[in-house]
């Protein structure tokens, strides 16, 4: 029977949350089997922009803020350690972030004062001096220094490589989980299309697909797919020195001159098809923010599915009535920024350590139907 001192864990889902959960638990000595129905890091973790901040952090409650602040402080050392261990650089790129013409600027500044974050108004002539390609027509700006972005496809590649170097980790890709192995109300493992995988504990970190799996236990997890489309341009390496955000759309510079522009918010089930309407809308936003992008090479357009959840608060902890089953899912738009804290918190709870932050807001108990 699984117990809280079990030494083996099966993790369902190979995105950033599953990969980092596996790495945290494996480094703490557990025997880890990571199961992914496709290739690791190819769903929402690959499709997102990688801003190491919620887009509008003041619009979230304290539960999201606590995870975000811990993760933001941790990301630089995570990037350095992964580069040292694997030779793959996740490129934690600190640029700062400008918000333009916000309707709730006063709320943003009040939040920053309350939380001690370096967010302040900036005169528009100073913004144009700092970000020369910014388009005309914007009237107000606030800026937060220290905000980074991470090159998320490289982050997941680095996490995968770090796991493969550990002797107590097995990775099963292209292995779909069909259900749970149960006995006497306990979860003993998972049923896959390649047979049973037994473990003392199971962690469900399957993003937008987590609700479908948990539904097999008669539990309703309020996590649903929310489609987001992005486009990618290639510019000179020094084209855009900072991230900019206006009217719900953002531009993110990578170190090599790639510029991501996103994103849409669509409730379209599990459909990930990029659409012409979204492409034209994203291009219009891109050219308004950065008019010179009209002459740049458009090198990509894609869609991914975020795991939408009430108020964006993830589910982290044991599932009541299903001993042995744990959740780390439902991070909505903030999976990448919240991942380090979420996975450390999960490990703290599973290993009986003092948790890094109060775990109560994320507990599945009372939040599942």
Same domain as 234, residue 178: no
Same domain as 317, residue 302: no
Same domain as 89, residue 186: yes
DSSP state of 200: S
Scanning the structure block, which residue is given the tokens 């640029």?
Answer: 95
Which pLDDT value is given to residue 3? Answer: 35
Instruction: Please report which confidence band the pLDDT of residue 5 belongs to, taking 50, 70 and 90 as the band edges.
Output: very low
Same domain as 81, residue 104: no
CB 287, CB 294: distance < 8 Å = yes
pTM of the model: 0.96
- On the question of pLDDT at 52 being above 60, the answer is yes
Alpha helices for the chain (secondary structure H): 16-27, 44-47, 62-86, 105-115, 124-130, 152-164, 210-214, 276-289, 335-351
Q: Which helix (H) or strand (E) holds 198?
A: strand 195-198
Mean pLDDT of the chain: 97
Same domain as 115, residue 141: yes
Same domain as 187, residue 74: yes
* Domain-ending residue, one of 293, 308, 323: 308
pLDDT digit string, tens, across residues 186-229: 999 999 999 999 999 999 999 999 999 999 999 999 999 999 99
Which pLDDT value is given to residue 245? Answer: 98
* Domain-ending residue, one of 259, 293, 308: 308
pLDDT digit string, tens, across residues 165-187: 999 999 999 999 999 999 999 99
Cα–Cα distance list, 187 to 151, 262, 353 (Å):
36, 39, 23
Scanning the structure block, which residue is given the tokens 């599945």?
Answer: 364
List Cβ neighbours of 113 (8 Å cut-off, separation of 6 or more): none
* Domain-ending residue, one of 276, 308, 340: 308
CB 92, CB 78: distance < 8 Å = yes
Domain extent, residue 127, equals 97-145+224-308
The four Cα atoms 311, 315, 320, 326 give a dihedral, to 10 degrees, of: 170
Instruction: Please report which confidence band the pLDDT of residue 1 belongs to, taking 50, 70 and 90 as the band edges.
Output: very low
Encoding tokens for residue 200?
């003392």
Domain at 188, CATH number: 3.50.50.60
Q: From CA 324, how far away is CA 353, in angstroms rounded?
A: 17
pLDDT digit string, tens, across residues 77-112: 999 999 999 999 999 999 999 999 999 999 999 999
Q: From CA 225, how far away is CA 16, in angstroms rounded?
A: 17
Residue among 168, 207, 163 at smallest CA distance from 12? 207
Same domain as 300, residue 181: no
Domain at 247, CATH number: 3.30.9.10
Number of domains in the chain: 2
DSSP state of 362: G
Same domain as 335, residue 275: no
Q: What percent of the chain has pLDDT over 90?
A: 98
- On the question of pLDDT at 143 being above 70, the answer is yes
Same domain as 288, residue 157: no
Whether the link from the prior residue into 263 is cis, omega within 30° of 0, is yes
Which pLDDT value is given to residue 369? Answer: 83
């Amino acid at each position: 029977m699984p117990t809280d001192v079990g030494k083996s864990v099966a993790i369902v889902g190979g995105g950033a949350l599953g990969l980092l959960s596996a790495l945290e638990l494996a480094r703490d000595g557990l025997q880890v089997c990571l199961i992914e129905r496709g290739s690791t890091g190819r769903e929402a973790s690959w499709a997102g922009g990688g801003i190491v901040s919620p887009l509008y952090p003041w619009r979230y409650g304290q539960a999201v803020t606590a995870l975000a602040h811990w993760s933001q402080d941790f990301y630089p050392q995570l990037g350095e350690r992964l580069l040292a261990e694997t030779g793959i650089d996740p490129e934690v790129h600190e640029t700062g972030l400008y918000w333009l013409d916000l309707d709730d600027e006063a709320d943003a500044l009040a939040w920053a004062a309350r939380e001690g974050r370096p967010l302040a108004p900036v005169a528009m002539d100073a913004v144009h001096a700092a970000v020369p390609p910014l388009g005309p027509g914007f009237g107000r700006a606030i800026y937060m220094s220290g905000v980074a972005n991470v090159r998320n496809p490289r982050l997941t590649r680095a996490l995968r490589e770090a796991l493969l170097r550990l002797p107590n980790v097995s990775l099963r890709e292209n292995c779909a989980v069909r259900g749970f192995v149960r006995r006497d109300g306990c979860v003993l493992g998972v049923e896959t299309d390649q047979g049973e995988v037994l473990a003392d504990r199971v962690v469900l970190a399957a993003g937008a697909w987590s609700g479908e799996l948990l539904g097999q236990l008669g539990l309703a997890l309020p996590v649903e797919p929310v489609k987001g489309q992005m486009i990618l341009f290639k510019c000179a390496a020094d084209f855009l020195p900072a991230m900019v955000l206006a009217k719900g759309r953002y531009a993110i510079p990578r170190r090599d001159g790639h510029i991501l522009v996103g994103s849409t918010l669509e409730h379209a089930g599990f459909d990930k098809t990029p659409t012409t309407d979204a492409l034209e809308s994203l291009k219009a936003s891109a050219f308004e923010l950065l008019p010179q992008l009209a002459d740049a090479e458009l090198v990509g357009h894609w869609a991914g599915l975020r795991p939408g959840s009430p108020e964006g608060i993830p589910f982290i902890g044991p599932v009541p009535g299903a001993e042995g089953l744990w959740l780390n899912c439902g991070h909505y738009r903030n999976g990448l920024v919240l991942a380090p804290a979420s996975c450390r918190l999960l490990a703290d709870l599973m290993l009986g350590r003092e948790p890094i932050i109060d775990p109560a807001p994320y507990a599945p108990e009372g939040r599942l139907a």
